Amino acid sequence: MSITVRVLVVDDDALVRASLEMMLDGANGISVVGQAADGDEVPAAVDAHFPDVVLMDLRMPRVDGIVATRRVRARTDPPEVVVLTTFDTDEDVLHALRAGASGFLLKDTPPAQIVDAVRRVAAGDPILSPAITRRLMDRAATQADAHTVAQQALERLSPREYDVVLAVARGESNAQIGSELYMSVATVKAHISHILTKLGLGNRTQIALLAHDGGLA
């Protein structure tokens, strides 16, 4: 039985919304179930359409994508969020990830890669372009306050949880982590869920960011 990924498109440009809907609806296994023209419309749209993934613009006139992402991810059983923007400053990326986004893509990303990102994020696999990831992590590791806070959080982990965090920071899948650490995929998922709860994090991307803040990778 095939599973369709339900997508909510959020952008203040009507032409961009229409283009994204046409592109994504034409992809196998993806359906655009709704649109929103500003961040303040997102909560009601999520309630109305139950998306799996929100494709979120960053700069909008009333409520920006960072605030909207934070509000979405604070909900019970929230959808994943992929930021799609023309802006890629270090601050933009960092704020989006800390707000709970699982992906960050630029609007000039090829359509096939945007489609792939939606599928991957829906499956629990965070997506960032390599260039953005490297630049962000280099910056994050040099911030003294973030470094100290991250180290204090990481000290709360058990040795096994610490190993899982290192593997997540390297971008390994659950299957790869299981093979490396000699545990089942179900056990890996249980460890990750416990780490998220223990450290008050929202997703795997934030685990990786914490690891880099703490100088582990």
Q: Once rounded to an integer, what is the mean pLDDT over residues 28-40?
A: 95
How deeply is 187 buried, as exposed, middle or buried, from its count of CB atoms within 10 A (0-12, 13-18, 19+)? Answer: middle
- Distance CA(103)–CA(96), nearest Å, equals 9
The angle, 0 to 180 degrees and rounded to 10, between the axes of the packed helices 130-141 and 204-213 is 40
pLDDT, one tens digit per residue, over 150-161 is: 888 888 889 999
Secondary structure, 3-state, 86-135: CCCCHHHHHHHHHHCCCEEEECCCCHHHHHHHHHHHHCCCCEECHHHHHH
Phi, psi of 63 (to 5 degrees): -125, 120
Q: Calculate ∠ Cα 140-134-211, nearest 5°.
A: 50
Q: Calculate ∠ Cα 199-201-202, nearest 5°.
A: 155
State whether the Cα torsion 13-32-209-216 is positive or negative. negative
pLDDT, one tens digit per residue, over 84-114 is: 988 767 678 778 888 889 888 888 888 998 9
The CATH number of the structural domain formed by 5-136 is: 3.40.50.2300
Q: List the chain domain ranges.
A: 5-136, 144-213
Taking a C-beta distance cutoff of 8 angstroms, is the pair 53, 76 a contact?
no
What is the structure's pLDDT at 89? 73
User: Under CATH, to which class is 144-213 assigned?
Assistant: mainly alpha
Taking a C-beta distance cutoff of 8 angstroms, is the pair 107, 84 a contact?
yes
Quick one: pLDDT band at residue 133, thresholds 50, 70, 90? low
What is the structure's pLDDT at 32? 96
Give 39's DSSP letter. G
What is the structure's pLDDT at 153? 84
